[in-house]
Amino acid sequence: MAAPPIAGVLETAIYVADLARSREFYESVLGLTPMFGDARLAAYAVGRSVLLVFLRGASDQPMPLPGGTIPPHDGAGRIHFALSIAAADLDAWAAWLGERGVAEEGRTRWPRGGTSLYFRDPDGHLAELATPGIWPNER
């Protein structure tokens, strides 16, 4: 018997030291619009997925809600996530980031034809802007 199907990754979470600083970065540098925000997190729509930016330590206790309780969670260290972009926008993104003082940390051309551009957010998380052609399951 096989496991029931999974439709996709709905949320990716990162944990930051200064939520206001991170909101400024993700909203002004990456152009993301918050769907929700409070003192412990900001939630951004990224295509059909959601990027959750949590204040480190603010979710390490159960979070009771009217519909149930969210178990505690937290994270530390520099993590990695990738955001999908069109291949035609890669150079424009590189210029945009550079104009905002965000250093390009690396660039990789993948065997399937995609390109990844790497940079860091204010907490040192490794962000990637990836064009199509990295993974065989891309749509």
Instruction: Identify the band that residue 92 occupies on the pLDDT scale cut at 50, 70 and 90.
Output: very high
In a domain, 123, yes or no: yes
Instruction: Please give the model's pTM, rounded to 2 decimal places.
Output: 0.93
Q: What is the DSSP pairing of strand 80-84 with strand 126-130?
A: parallel
Residue-level pLDDT at 17: 97
Q: What are the distances in angstroms from CA 75 to CA 7, 22, 60, 114, 120? A: 25, 15, 9, 30, 17
> Which tens digit of pLDDT belongs to each residue from 57-78?
999 999 999 999 999 999 999 9
Q: Total domain count for the chain?
A: 1
- CB contact at 8 A, 121 and 83: no
In a domain, 49, yes or no: yes
Residue-level pLDDT at 5: 86
- CB contact at 8 A, 93 and 100: no
How is residue 71 annotated by DSSP? Answer: P
| Residue 23, domain extent | 11-58+76-130
Residue-level pLDDT at 54: 97
- CATH for 90: 3.10.180.10
In a domain, 39, yes or no: yes
State what percent of residues in the chain have pLDDT above 90.
94
